[in-house]
Chain A
């Protein structure tokens, strides 16, 4: 706009558009009639325009249009006239003010797209994670209640055990090979630890292992299965000794579980109270106290050994096709 103001003399900028047009028309020596004829406007309209009277033209679009046509006819800069008009009358069509100059927009940024995709994926992953957590917590609720039952349950996980024979069957089995590799001392010691009853068996084993250990190496290799077998029998002997021990434990209120594999187990006693439940890890033992009869659900029944009143309960018999045993004991 400044360039138009520079182009025109300073007093002109303050004048109304009509005055600017009249000055220019008079300068060019034209009459209003001539102008009206060229613009196809009524002569009165031209004088009105010059006097800035717009009663006859109620619509601003026409007012501005006529002024611009007039200015163009006289060879003036129409924008200058329109600016003068705007100064006086303002622009009633504010919408047009808001219109930004035409510009070409930058192409959509790839980065935004990538960020958006990333955020979406993260949100989806988060939702999936939350769902999983919720699901797990729902499944895990029984294991939380385990804490309540703790007084009645004695988990046997190692040296902290008090009353019961520690060496589980599985540990004997797993130690079998080690016994074979290195002559029977570890087995012997562990057996020594286990119980006095075992001492005789253990010494027998160590003697046999000792004799095999004396033979030449290749012969020793050949002997390994035999040793294993002997150790296996030793294991059986231990199991028997355990059985002997548990016969001492003839209390009808006690259940003894040995979990060779992971299993979800639940036991309810006569009062209907849950005395034992939860996911048991492989290689653990548990002793459950309660009043018979026990209603129990043992998952993965083939991997669990249950002793009750000194007898091994056949879980397989009670297990269904899904390998879950559901039955009542001690009726």
Chain B
């Protein structure tokens, strides 16, 4: 009852609860929040309190003293730490509703990986409810990504989406507002970072942190040979000497480092094409597939997938926000038709 009252003062939200970043789309206002899904927990005695959330917490990653731990509560697209996720969501929802007086109680649409289990979905739903949501809808990530990319999901035509996120890569073939085939591999931006870290350790005998690996990926990472050669200076701790050393990496080395995770993505795309019904496969062959998510920003990823699959490949505009925007559009559609886009709980 009181929740309903508070609902009058809150706007509907679409939340892309990602492994790497959480985005919130507010109905009528667009995307208002894009922050890393990181929570810093301060432990004093037996008391655990949230020290920082989002950007502030991300800066702490790997740089925390003993009593603070920076946690990424989402792992592989699903909740790894329930209570921390709830607190993070609560913080974000509050942050979005800065102007209202009452504690917000919005209707929330949360995107879930398509291969997540019922237990994982329930966990996400409950954590959103725990964060104060009045009503929680779940939508499968590739569906939201397809809507966000502007694909004709409601038509009787196959559309293929590859959403390369932080924790997972979601591949789905969508027709008539439903997911015909979906595939989720637990390879994403995090795996790219790990691969780069492992490569540097193997070839340079140096340890680099998560944040450095991410910076390398963003600046010189590429998925397809050719194009200009880029270089970056990196500092890491030399394992043999035990002191920080500086060295230079180039994009070809990173391409080499990323081979393995990229291969699993390509394999997943291929397997999706193999398993799709022939009519839809021909639609997709004609129109191509769309890449969304942070992984789409990796240089040459479209070329790689185009070459490996033989399909036209489009990188969605503003790929990072596709899922959140798609969720927002789905939220607007909820009122229009009782809604088959939403996943069943």
In the complex, chain B residues whose CB is within 8 Å of the CB of A136: none
Among residues of B, the one whose C-beta sits closest to the C-beta of A106 is: B98
Q: How far is the CB of A67 from chain B (nearest CB, A)?
A: 10
Chain B residues lying within 8 Å of A115, measured Cβ to Cβ, are 101
Q: Is the CB of A104 within 8 A of B151?
A: no
**A38, A68, A93, A113: the one within 8 Å of B314 (CB):** A68
For residue A119, which residues in chain B have a CB less than 8 angstroms away from its CB? 101
Q: What 12 additional pairs, Cβ within 8 angstroms, besides A40-B311, A112-B98?
A: A39-B306, A40-B306, A59-B150, A60-B150, A65-B314, A68-B317, A69-B302, A102-B320, A103-B32, A104-B54, A108-B94, A108-B95
**Which residues in window 136-172 of B have CB below 8 A to A?**
149-152
Which chain A residues have a beta carbon within 8 Å of chain B's beta carbons?
Answer: 38-41, 57, 59-62, 64-66, 68-69, 72, 82, 93, 95-96, 98-100, 102-109, 112-113, 115-116, 119
Minimum CB–CB distance for A87 against chain B, Å? 16
B: residues with CB less than 8 A from A are 23, 25, 28-35, 54-55, 94-99, 101-102, 149-152, 287-288, 290, 302, 306, 310-317, 320-321, 325, 328-329, 332
Q: Which of B23, B55, B101, B314 contacts A112 (CB 8 A)?
A: B101
- Chain A's nearest CB lies how many Å from the CB of B238? 36
Complex contacts, A57 vs chain B, CB 8 Å: 287
Report B178 CB to chain A, min CB distance, Å: 18
Q: Say whether, besides A62-B287, A69-B302, A104 and B312 are in contact (CB < 8 Å).
A: no
In the bound complex, residues from chain A placing their C-beta under 8 Å from that of B321 are: 99, 102
Cβ–Cβ < 8 Å partners of A98 in chain B: 28-30
A69 touches B150 (CB 8 A): no
Q: Choose from A41, A59, A105 the contact partner of B152 (Cβ within 8 Å).
A: A59
Once the chains bind, are A102 and B95 in contact (CB under 8 Å)? no
Q: Measured between alpha carbons, how far is A225 from B299 in the docked complex, in Å? A: 111
* Of listed A60, A104, A105, A113, residue having the most chain B CB within 10 A: A105
Structural contact, B311 and A100, CB atoms closer than 8 A: no
- Given A99-B30, A104-B35, A105-B32: A65 in contact with B290 (beta carbons within 8 A): yes
| Chain B residues, CB < 8 A from A72 | 302
Q: How many A-B contacts are there with CB distance less than 8 Å?
A: 97
Q: Given known contacts A69-B302, A106-B98, A112-B101, is B29 in contact with A40 (CB within 8 Å)?
A: no
Can you give 23 A-B contacts (C-beta < 8 A)?
Answer: A40-B310, A41-B288, A57-B287, A60-B150, A61-B150, A61-B151, A61-B290, A61-B316, A62-B314, A65-B315, A69-B313, A93-B150, A98-B29, A98-B30, A100-B30, A102-B31, A102-B320, A105-B96, A105-B98, A106-B98, A112-B99, A115-B101, A119-B101
Question: Contact: B288 with A62, CB < 8 Å?
Answer: yes
Chain B residues within an 8 Å CB radius of A99? 25, 30-31, 321, 325
Cβ distance A162 to chain B, nearest Cβ, rounded Å: 64
Given contacts A40-B288, A69-B312, A69-B315, are A100 and B29 in contact (CB under 8 A)?
yes
List, in ascending order, chain A residues with CB within 8 A of B320's CB.
102
Q: Residue on B with the closest CB to A108?
A: B98
- Kindly list chain A residues whose C-beta atoms are within 8 Å of the C-beta of B313: 40, 69
Bound: A102/B32 CA distance, A: 6
Q: How far is the CA of A40 from the CA of B288 in the complex (A)?
A: 8
How far is B321's CA from A82's CA once the two chains are assembled, in angstroms?
A: 18
Considering only CB atoms, which chain A residue lies closest to B317 in the complex? A64
Which residues of chain A have C-beta atoms less than 8 A from B290's C-beta? 61, 65
A41: B residues at CB distance < 8 A: 288, 312
